[in-house]
Amino acid sequence: MRIAVLDADGEQLALITGILRTLGHDCHAFTRGSALQHELRQESFDLLVLDWQLPDTTGPEFARWARTTLKERVPMLLMTQRYQEEDIVEGLAAGADDIIVSPIRVGELTARVRALMRRAYAQQPTDDQTWGRYHFLPAHQRVEVDGAPVFLTQKQYNLALLLFRNMGRVLSRRYLLESIWGINNPMGPEQVSRSLDTHVSRVRAALGLRPESGYRLAAVYGQGYRFEAVEVDASSLA
Is the CB of residue 41 less than 8 Å from the CB of residue 58? Answer: no
Residues shown for the chain = 238
The model's pTM:
0.68
In order of their start, the domains of the chain are: 2-120 (3.40.50.2300), 129-237 (1.10.10.10)
Task: Work out the angle at residue 30's Cα, subtended by the Cα atoms of residues 57 and 67, and round it to the nearest 5 degrees.
Answer: 55
The pLDDT of residue 234: 55
Q: For residues 177 and 189, what is the distance between their CA atoms, to the nearest angstrom?
A: 9
Give me the sheet containing 47-51, strands edge to edge. Answer: 26-30, 2-6, 47-51, 76-80, 98-101
Class of residue 28 by CB neighbours under 10 A (exposed 0-12, middle 13-18, buried 19+): middle
Is the CB of residue 6 less than 8 Å from the CB of residue 62? Answer: yes
Q: For residues 156 and 26, what is the distance between their CA atoms, to the nearest angstrom?
A: 21
Strands of the chain, DSSP E: 2-6, 26-30, 47-51, 76-80, 98-101, 129-131, 134-137, 142-145, 148-150, 170-172, 215-220, 224-229
What DSSP string describes 108-174? Answer: HHHHHHHHHHHHHSPPPPSS-EEETTEEEETTTTEEEETTEEE---HHHHHHHHHHHHTTT-EEEHH
Task: Work out the angle at residue 65's Cα, subtended by the Cα atoms of residues 62 and 71, and round it to the nearest 5 degrees.
Answer: 125
Q: For residues 142 and 119, what is the distance between their CA atoms, to the nearest angstrom?
A: 28
Q: For residues 227 and 172, what is the distance between their CA atoms, to the nearest angstrom?
A: 12
Among 131, 211, 198, 203, which Cα is nearest to 160's? 203
The pLDDT of residue 235: 54
Nearby residues of 207 by Cβ (< 8 Å), 6 or more positions away? 134, 143, 145, 150, 160
Q: What would you report as the CA-atom Rg of the chain, rounded to the nearest whole angstrom?
A: 20
- What is the Cβ-side half-sphere exposure of residue 91, based on CA atoms within 13 angstroms? 25
The pLDDT of residue 7: 96
Question: For every one of its 238 residues, what pLDDT tens digit does the chain have, with 9 covering 90 and above?
Answer: 899 999 999 999 999 999 999 998 999 999 999 999 999 998 889 999 999 999 999 999 999 999 999 888 899 999 998 777 788 889 988 999 899 988 899 999 999 998 888 877 765 556 788 998 999 998 888 999 999 999 988 889 999 999 999 999 999 888 888 888 765 444 455 666 778 889 999 999 999 999 988 899 999 988 899 999 988 765 554 4
The pLDDT of residue 144: 94
